[in-house]
Structure 1
Amino acid sequence: MRTNETYTPDRLSGISAFVAAVDAGSFAGAAERLHLTRSAVAKRIGRLEARLGVRLFHRTTRSQHLTGEGQTFYQRCTKVLTELSEAEDELSAGSQTPMGKLRVTMPVHIGRQCIAPVLLALAKAHPQLRLEMAFSDSRIDLVEEGYDLAVRSGRLDDTPGLKARALGEQTMMLCASPAYLAAYGTPQTVDDLAAHECLMYGRAGNLYRWPTPMMPADGPHRLPRFILDDLIALVDAAEQGLGIACMPHWVIMRAIADGTLVRLLPQIRTPGTPLHLVWPDTRHPSPKLRAAIDTLVSAAPALLGMPPTA
């Protein structure tokens, strides 16, 4: 019978490197996740294979894939690492102080402008909390990528093993610069928009049309001259007087407050795009996760720039 003395830190580091290599699909990917060199990951996995007396990977110069023994070992290892993580959460749950590393993924623009400042303030208030924030508009697999929390824009998929909490809605607004309105007039109705230059958001060949209540019945009378796939660039174009834009309130609220943009047709309201927090479902959420969720939910009205309902 083996004793616990055989389970040394080196043994655990080898297991962590092995699991990371499988999840990332390469030693290089595992090295990036573990903040190690590729050779360090290879050495740890090599020592692990020598200790076990089996090959865990079939490796060639171009690819690697698990052996049968490697697949079996991977399934057991992921269970062990999950149990260790849950054990740490249970222990840390005894303390209400947020501590340790919190990994959060979020969309680029709303993350930079709205989410990151709130989390940085939380970390400043709790010196034992370490933050790792990733900014990406792609939907990342939280469990596979090892993230504690995600900010998701749009409708949520019904994904097993995840919990969610609503942050609020992103309300769309029409706006233009004072110079544009002085030159071309201020639209008084939705149908008036048909005669104006419309700045459009588009990505990967797809043009994102304005919400129906904000679109003239017969559409614009001209093809859009400007199509941009970046919200900040869209704000710049509107501020330079190139046309009328339709954007979430949180994107333009500073420009409206500064007077560089003017809100148009405020009487028109559209259903907002929902914003959620999503995290892996655990029996004992850690204090760091609870603190991040509660803080962001509390800050939601301000960070989204939610306009008055009346």
Structure 2
Amino acid sequence: MTDRLAGISAFVHAAEAGSFALAAERLHLTRSAVGKSIARLEERLGTRLFLRTTRRQTLTADGQAFYEHCVRALAELDAGEAALSASRISPQGRLHVSTPVLFGRRCVAPLLLELASRYPQLEVQISFTDRVVDLVDENIDLVVRSGTLRHPPADLVARKVGEQTMIVCASPGYLERHGTPRTVAELEGHHAVLYAAGRREVGWPLSDATASMRVVTMKHRLRFDDLETIVAAVKAGAGLARLPCWLVAEDLRAGALERVLAGTPAPTIDVHLAWRRTRHLPSRVRVAIDLLAARLPALLNSPG
């Protein structure tokens, strides 16, 4: 079997050094060994790679094209070796993660605390914020964000790790007093506790029995920009609310809340991880990505 990598290193060093003698010195080989290695490579490829005279040595057109491919291939091999080396090194140093406030407290932080316990040399810093952050200016390694990510910046890598399902809930007491809506159309006869940011009220995009999406506008007297307050109001019987599964899972299991319209398709919101594009991803960032990607989906999609 032909060793396809034979002579590649000698060829690249010779091309970059401008002479076989200097390439041999850098490779700790004899000039003759470098020359023979490149000669065998040229024979295998069926083309001349160098134009050699007594005074100078230059690449042929074929040699220049082959050199460019070889440089990329060697860079990939270097990256592979670096990745394997990094995987053998226990993650250490500071890991700075930015995450939405409530989702971060409920779902992300427990997993990162588990990561810190697993790797004693790892320092974990979590920033809880719902605003858009700048990874470079704020020295952040990894961000967790909800919502559609249509055009991530070129200097970032984004990975979708799951979808948070949004469901309509109410307390058993409210449903006993006002009845349980069976269709999306029947929701309009009920009171809602709405999420509102500033002056902007957010309607409920819901699918009806035909799977057609529509935005439902509900009667309401209560509006909050805090999901935990909305949950408390709904548990107290103030009305219905559209909430993420991960937030109400325990209340559903305990019977403090009931899911409404369980038979209709539930809309979802994407959850992404994003980090700076780099040739060698630090092991502290890699283990965090792997853990969150493996564990967050179950938390996102379990309504109890």
> How would you bin the TM-score normalised by the shorter chain?
0.5 to 0.7
Contact 2:206 2:267 in 1 (8 A): no
Rate the CA distance shift 1:92–1:139 in 2: closer, same or farther, 3 A: farther
Partner of residue 54, structure 1? none
Partner of residue 111, structure 1? 104
Rate the CA distance shift 1:98–1:125 in 2: closer, same or farther, 3 A: same
Structure 2 unaligned runs (5+)?
A: 1-81
Partner of residue 34, structure 2? none
2:116 and 2:273 map into 1 onto residues whose CA distance is 18
1:200 paired with 2:194, answer yes
- The number of residues matched between the two structures is 219
1:91 and 1:221 map into 2 onto residues whose CA distance is 55
Cα distance per residue 1:252-286 (max 9 Å; x no partner): 11111111000011111134110000000111111
1:187 paired with 2:176, answer no
Rate the CA distance shift 1:216–1:184 in 2: closer, same or farther, 3 A: farther
Contact 1:115 1:303 in 2 (8 A): no
Provide the TM-score with structure 1 as the length reference. 0.66
Q: How does 1:1-310 map to 2 (within 5 A)?
A: 93=86, 95-156=88-149, 157-213=151-207, 219-220=216-217, 222=219, 224-306=220-302
2:245 and 2:134 map into 1 onto residues whose CA distance is 28
Which protein is richer in helix relative to its size? Answer: 1
Structure 1 unaligned runs (5+)?
A: 1-88
Rate the CA distance shift 1:189–1:216 in 2: closer, same or farther, 3 A: farther
Partner of residue 56, structure 2? none
Rate the CA distance shift 1:202–1:259 in 2: closer, same or farther, 3 A: same
Contact 2:249 2:302 in 1 (8 A): no
What fraction of aligned residue pairs are identical, expressed as a percent? Answer: 41
Contact 2:195 2:227 in 1 (8 A): yes
Cα distance per residue 1:104-132 (max 9 Å; x no partner): 00100100000000000010111111001
Larger radius of gyration: 2
Rate the CA distance shift 1:105–1:216 in 2: closer, same or farther, 3 A: closer
CA RMSD of aligned residues (A): 2.4
1:137 and 1:216 map into 2 onto residues whose CA distance is 27
Rate the CA distance shift 1:165–1:94 in 2: closer, same or farther, 3 A: closer
1:127 and 1:193 map into 2 onto residues whose CA distance is 51
2:110 and 2:99 map into 1 onto residues whose CA distance is 13
Aligned residue type for 1:93: A
Provide the TM-score with structure 2 as the length reference. 0.67
Which protein is richer in strand relative to its size? Answer: 2
2:115 and 2:181 map into 1 onto residues whose CA distance is 43
